[in-house]
Amino acid sequence: MASISERTFIAIKPDGVQRGLVGEIIRRFEQKGFKLVAMKLTHASEDLLREHYIDLKDRPFYAGLVQYMHSGPIVAMVWEGLNVIKTGRVMLGETNPMDSKPGTIRGDLCVQVGRNIIHGSDSVESPQKEISLWFKPAELIDYRSCAHVRIYERCRFP
């Protein structure tokens, strides 16, 4: 079983911010029971974006992706919870919204792959790298939510 304190990086892309979907996306993660431990609205530098998407550097869409992500504000977040990486990816839906099921963020809110509104860590290794790129350690807030014992069954009541 994955650790309850597993963390993932989620970013609402410029199209999601511009369309006013930030609250809807945060609502979905909160309703699922995940805990927000870091968040900021930022206009990411091209250098940061090139580093973030370095694994795609040989793909034909890389330059356009970096340019698009630099075109407007991004909401960068860190979410924590049991199986949050895998569950977060399921909540996002497929990269191509046409392949996403209804009920997922992309299935409900997106039309085209180039405007798929959200990024989420895609493996157990990815969040460590992504979180350290976007946040300083002091920006990650460690706290125990009062809802913790209502979400996780093997917790002691205070």
Reply yes or no on whether 70 is catalytic: no
The helix (H) or strand (E) run that includes residue 15 is: helix 14-18
Cα gap 90→139, rounded to integer Å: 26
Which string of DSSP letters, residue by residue, matches 89-132?
HHHH--SSGGGSPTTSHHHHH-S-GGG--EEE--SSSHHHHHHH
Residues annotated in a binding site for ATP: 13, 61, 89, 95, 106, 116
Backbone torsions φ then ψ of 63, nearest 5 degrees:
-60, -40
Catalytic residue among 43, 52, 70, 119, which?
A: 119
- What is the set of active-site residues? 119
